Structure 1
Amino acid sequence: MTPVKIRKLGHLILRVSDVEASTRFYTEILGFTESDRNEHGYVFLRCAADHHVLGLAPAEEIIPLPDKSRRQRGFDHCAFEVASIEELIEIRDFLRARDIPIVFEGRKGPGCNPGLEFLDPDGYDVEIYTGMDQIGWDGRTRPKEQWRRVRSLEEAAANPVHP
């Protein structure tokens, strides 16, 4: 039996040919609000309290993955929320026991959510995460110096970010 208990589809990241044009479209036409940008040119957009529900990534950025790199426009990854970092650790161990390679684990930056990423049978990147930053009534996001990137779930658990 799987230990994965998905609470919701958390976010979707798209690779786009023109980040600025896409940002204008999703903000001016669909009403999303920009939360943050990172040093790789990603724009993180929200429509409610979650730090981001949609991310826009430049298609030309090269990110090596097993058997491919992300250079073209289209789907980058989807992310599903679970309840806790303890669940993430259990899920990671479950995936490893089934020889499903982990592409990333830890905490990346904007949103400050610990997570793990792996590939489905068709090579799509799937993220499972917990603890996404929430944006309050004032619309302010966490300052970049508080993102606290880490490369393991244990390190994320030992070094949590605080509101």
Structure 2
Amino acid sequence: MFEVGGVRMRRPFKIRRVSHVGLNARNMPEMKRCYGDLLGLVQTDVSEGLADRFDPEHRIIPEPGSRGLHFYRYGADHHQFVLMDQRLWEILDPDHTTLRVNQLSWQVGSLEEVRNAIECLGGEKQRITRSGRDMPGSNWHTYVLDPDGYTFELTFGMEQIGWDRLSKPRASWDALRFGEFPDLPHQPENIEMAGQRDAGVDLRAGFEPTPQDGRYDVDGVRLPRPFKIVGLGPLSIVVEDFERSVAHYEQIFGFDLRFRGEWNGVRFAALACNTAHHAMMLYEASVRPVLGLADDAGLVATGFQVANHRQLRAAVGFLTENGLEEIAVPAELVPGFRHVAHLRDPDGNIIQLYFQMRQCITGDGREGSRSVVGPAADWPAVIDPSDDVFQGEVFMGPWA
């Protein structure tokens, strides 16, 4: 047993929520259009990747096809979604070149929990690839490979973006990057940035996206699209050895198994880290032909939550009008939602859109909850409330 913030736990960390997810983009311009222009995620930074880490001149190639990373957010966290050029991924991880998801990232409760996870996970003989702090985003982390080669990140302390929409300046990246975990306690962020200012760094020189006005009245705010993304997750992946992976995520990472089922020979499991019905879904490889996924696809779907039911219907209409295909997914394979829609992005990945996920207290929800699936145009314009409507995590701050 370990002491985590004064509570006895089976491991020295507790995953609280999805932090961010990274996809490998084959068609970067169209993927940027899909997740930025259409879905409304705001770009917060761009990195050339290897050159930014190793080139002291910090040269950057800004064109859309560059071999780099593009960072996006829907809230105040510096990034909640990352697009990496597929060619860069093949350089970074030549053993897993076909993976379309480059990281599954989860927030724990403190910097100390990230540090303590390093020894714990290493003791479980997992492959820890690195620990420390990367830029941009300046979040502390430790990266571990799961049994299928997915990069699993435990993270804390993500940089926050405020009203000025500026990220930390590129000139500060080297000073804030740590290739290994430091001794604790570490100095607070405000002291770090005051030191950068005193060293002559222009703190106003960070990446700034172009402000966008809009023509849609979205529950009292004028936006460029008729909905607002307010949440990330669940993250759904294919696993080759189903029982091994379920046990791994339960026993090593501490997820709560909420539901497991089988439909037409496809086994799947819903795993939770807080009161939401699930934060992660594991599927057997036989799900690929059912959902029209590539034979080597690892990512099944990335979930995005919108603010309410009206916005969900509007979002599906807007996205299909702008070229995304709404696809049919059997309700039996996606438990835990009230209404949920699925669309395919330009690289063939599935975007999972919903407003309400069932909320569960410990021990509840294991029997599953049947979802209402698309087509969204057939859903009623107004639905009756359930006992857990408008519960769960609340989006903080303005919408734009």
The aligned amino acid for 1:16 is A
- The CA deviation string for residues 118-162 of structure 1, in whole angstroms up to 9 with x for no partner, is 111111110001100011011111111222211111169646644
Structure 1 residues 142-151 or 102-111, which shifts more? 142-151
The reply to whether residue 98 of structure 1 matches residue 107 of structure 2 is no
1:25 aligns to 2:34 (yes or no): yes
Structure showing greater Rg: 2
Question: CA separation of 1:99/1:3 partners in 2, compared to 1, >3 Å: closer, same or farther?
Answer: same
Runs of 5+ unmatched residues, structure 1: none
Deviations 1:44-100 (A, max 9, x none): 0000101011000000111036xx14x346111110011222111111110111111
Residue of structure 1 equivalent to 2:25:
16
Residues 150, 156 of structure 1: 8 Å contact kept: no
Question: Amino acid of the residue matched to residue 3 of structure 1?
Answer: P
Aligned partner of residue 30 in structure 2, secondary structure: helix
Q: Which residue of the partner structure matches residue 182 of structure 2?
A: 154
What is the rounded CA distance, in whole Å, between the counterparts of 1:160 and 1:146 in structure 2? 15
Matches within 5 A, 1:13-162: 13-40=22-49, 41-61=68-88, 62-64=91-93, 68-69=95-96, 71-72=97-98, 74-147=100-173, 148-154=176-182, 158=186, 161-162=189-190
Relative distance call for 1:160 and 1:114 in structure 2 (3 A) is farther
Larger RCO, structures 1/2 (Cα 8 Å, 6+ apart): 1
Distance 1:157 1:18, change over 3 A: farther
The offset of 1:19, in angstroms, is 2.0
Query: Which stretch of the first structure deviates more once superposed, 153-162 or 127-136?
Result: 153-162
Q: Secondary structure at the match of 1:104?
A: strand
1-side partners of 2:31 and 2:187: how far apart?
35
Partner amino acid, structure 1, of 2:43: E
- In the superposition, the TM-score normalised over structure 1's length comes to 0.90
Distance 1:8 1:96 in 2: 22
Find the aligned partners of 1:101 and 1:28 in 2 and give their Cα distance.
37
Partner SS state of residue 152, structure 1: coil
Which deviates more, 47-56 or 147-156?
A: 147-156
**Code of the aligned partner of 1:63:** L
Distance (whole Å) between structure 2 residues aligned to residue 125 and residue 105 of structure 1: 12
CA distance in 2, matches of 1:116, 1:38: 20
CA distance in 1, matches of 2:69, 2:154: 19
- In 2: Cα distance, 1:116 partner to 1:64 partner: 17
Gaps of 5+ in 2: 1-9, 50-67, 194-400
For residues 123 and 29 of structure 1, the distance between their equivalents in structure 2, rounded to whole angstroms, comes to 31
Task: Provide the secondary structure at the position in 2 that maps to 1:153.
Answer: coil
Change (3 A) 1:159 1:102: farther
Please report the TM-score for the alignment, with normalisation by the length of structure 2: 0.38
> Which deviates further from its counterpart, 18-27 or 75-84?
18-27
Distance in 2 (CA, whole Å) between partners of 1:94 and 1:133 is: 26
The answer as to whether partners of 2:13 and 2:109 remain within 8 angstroms in 1 is no
Identity of aligned residues (%): 31
